[in-house]
């Protein structure tokens, strides 16, 4: 989720993205307990320090959890992006530093964190957002997510890494090639049958097909000029 109430747009301010460390724990805890942040979170309860600290220590040691901190050009921490690897999918959420709301930083924080993460992973990204959290939904749409489903409380979004999408397209092309190969056999069998059953009619029909193919080739030649 995100609590940037301004319509998310790409900020002209560059953000540095780094992995979270022990030194970031207290600020992340404070951001999490901000009233506006809690109102937009799936879990709206305030989190005590002991529970947060236990969660944070485990998170830093968890190889399937990635916590990123966004830093502006002045060295300020503008927010956190969290990515959890679950099977072959990634659950994504962000939490903006309340001091940096309304500065159009949510989308840059999200996109820059994803870009950093994808240096080491190539999986589908997912996000669960409260239906009332309009700003967060716009932020994720701006970051390349698409709306996939919804229920009475939440909207669900997905974002496929470009390499993943391209790999799926290549698989589709392979499937098309296989089907076309099989269909070419069907065409050749049909061609043999036509000349066996009605050779004169078949000759006439294929003359017409050849003439149309030549016209198509001429049109392709014009496109190539």
Looking at residue 165, what is its pLDDT? Answer: 57
Helix or strand holding residue 118 (H, E):
none
Long-range Cβ contact pairs of 78-87 (< 8 A, separation 24 or more): 78/15, 78/103, 78/105, 78/109, 79/31, 79/105, 79/106, 79/109, 80/20, 80/24, 80/28, 80/31, 81/17, 81/109, 81/110, 81/113, 81/114, 83/113, 83/114, 83/117, 83/125, 85/121, 85/123
Looking at residue 121, what is its pLDDT? Answer: 64
Q: Which is nearest to 92 in space by CA: 158, 185, 12?
A: 158
SS3 15: coil
Helix or strand holding residue 65 (H, E):
strand 65-71
DSSP for 120-171? S---EEEEEEETT-HHHHHHHHHTT-EEEEE-SSEEEEEE--HHHHHHHHHH
Give the distance from CA 43 to its chain's centroid. 24
Give the integer Cα–Cα distance in Å for 53 and 28: 10
The reply to whether the predicted model has a pTM over 0.85 is no
Q: Which is nearest to 10 in space by CA: 77, 140, 104?
A: 104
Token pair recorded at residue 44: 């709206």
> Mean pLDDT by 10-residue block, N- to C-terminus, for the chain (225 residues)?
41 79 96 92 92 96 95 94 88 93 89 82 84 88 88 89 59 76 81 87 85 84 77
- Do residues 110 and 141 lie in contact, with contact meaning Cβ atoms separated by under 8 Å? no
What sign has the CA pseudo-torsion 89, 120, 106, 168?
A: negative
The superfamily (CATH) of domain 16-160 is Gcn5-related N-acetyltransferase (GNAT) (3.40.630.30)
Q: What are the boundaries of each domain within the chain?
A: 16-160, 166-223
DSSP for 182-213? HHHHHHHHHHHHHHHH-HHHHHHHHHHHHHHH
Give the integer Cα–Cα distance in Å for 30 and 19: 18
Relative orientation angle of helices 25-32 and 49-61, to the nearest 10 degrees: 120
User: Number of helices and strands (H, E) in the chain?
Assistant: 7, 7
């Amino acid at each position: 989720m995100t609590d940037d109430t301004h319509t998310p747009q790409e900020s002209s301010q560059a953000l540095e993205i780094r992995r979270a460390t022990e030194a970031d724990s207290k600020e992340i805890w404070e951001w999490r307990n901000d009233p506006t942040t809690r109102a937009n979170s799936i879990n709206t309860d305030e989190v005590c320090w002991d529970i947060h600290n236990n969660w944070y220590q485990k998170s830093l040691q968890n190889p399937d959890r990635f916590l990123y901190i966004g830093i502006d050009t002045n060295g300020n921490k503008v927010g956190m992006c969290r990515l959890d690897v679950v099977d072959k999918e990634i659950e994504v959420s962000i939490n903006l530093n309340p001091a940096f709301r309304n500065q159009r930083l949510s989308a840059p924080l999200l996109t820059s964190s994803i870009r950093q993460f994808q240096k080491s992973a190539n999986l589908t990204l997912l996000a669960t957002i409260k239906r009332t959290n309009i700003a967060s939904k716009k932020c994720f749409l701006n970051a390349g997510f698409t709306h996939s489903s919804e229920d009475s409380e939440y909207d669900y979004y997905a974002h496929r890494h470009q390499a993943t999408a391209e790999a799926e397209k290549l698989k589709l092309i392979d499937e098309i090639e296989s089907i076309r190969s099989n269909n070419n056999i069907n065409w050749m069998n049909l061609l043999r049958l036509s000349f066996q059953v009605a050779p004169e009619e078949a000759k006439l029909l294929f003359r017409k097909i050849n003439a149309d193919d030549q016209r198509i080739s001429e049109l392709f030649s014009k496109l190539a000029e």
